[in-house]
Amino acid sequence: MANLNPVSHLREFDLARDSLRDLNFYLHRTAAGEGVSQIRVRNPDGAHSIACGLDEALDVHIHGHVGYYAAGMNKLATVTIHGNAGPGAGENMMSGRVHIKGFASTAAGASAHGGLLVIDGDASLRCGISLKGGDIVVGGSVGSFSAFMAQAGRIVICGDAEDALGDSLYEAVIYIRGKVRSLGADARFEPMTDTDRATVKSLLSLAGLAHDPAEFKRVASAKSLYHWHADANQEY
């Protein structure tokens, strides 16, 4: 059985012994009612869908690597993954904070509406795809088609980016410190303003990073894809 420490209001689960179903049921139905504020999960062993859809101000620490969709649809909770994460980590999150201490696979932060996703290492393909308002800070580099069709929100990339960064951007803004192999359709570099530098400084501080905001470049939409033009001959 999982252990409860009544003094610290800490609950521990060991997935080498406890079931993932019991963990997720506890997070959704029991933790807040028991007054437990922190849950520690050991031996996740790449399990999928850990700590998804949380809507309480819980502090969840997962010690090890996780599989698909960890901390997806997060609302209010703080989820820290002390390891690497599989595809879709933090997807569709609404608020709260998801912090991946290692690397993140494909589509981290996909469709996030709010909250903050921090990835200490690199992120794979399509990081922040269809972002709808959340903030993402990547301590390393990102793969191709990151921020594809990102509609709102901000992405800070402290390393490099592969091909087609920001392809088909809408209102989201990307700040990147390193090299960009290529920009996607309708994405362009724009001058950094004082407001941009203040934004980068704030997001880096929230992520626990200390880079100089002056080292970052701004990527945003040229907005030429906002409207269909009959005379474009289908060439965009």
Q: Where residue 84 sits, what CATH number does that domain have?
A: 2.160.20.60
- CA-based angle 35:113:23, to the nearest 5? 35
Tens digits of per-residue pLDDT, 99-144? 999 999 999 999 999 999 999 999 999 999 999 999 999 999 999 9
- CA-based angle 214:120:76, to the nearest 5? 100
Classify burial at 231, counting beta carbons within 10 Å of its beta carbon; exposed 0-12, middle 13-18, buried 19 or more. Answer: exposed
Is 23 among the domain residues?
A: no
Partners of 57 in beta bridges: none
Tens digits of per-residue pLDDT, 159-183? 999 999 999 999 999 999 999 999 9
Residue 235: pLDDT band by 50, 70, 90 thresholds? low
Is 16 among the domain residues?
A: no
Is 28 among the domain residues?
A: no
**Total domains present in the chain:** 1
Tens digits of per-residue pLDDT, 47-103? 999 999 999 999 999 999 999 999 999 999 999 999 999 999 999 999 999 999 999
Asked if 143 and 165 touch (Cβ cutoff 8 Å), the reply is: no
Residue 225: pLDDT band by 50, 70, 90 thresholds? confident
What pTM, to 2 d.p., does this model score? 0.93
Is 216 among the domain residues?
A: no
Asked if 203 and 150 touch (Cβ cutoff 8 Å), the reply is: no
Find the domain containing 134 and state its range: 42-210
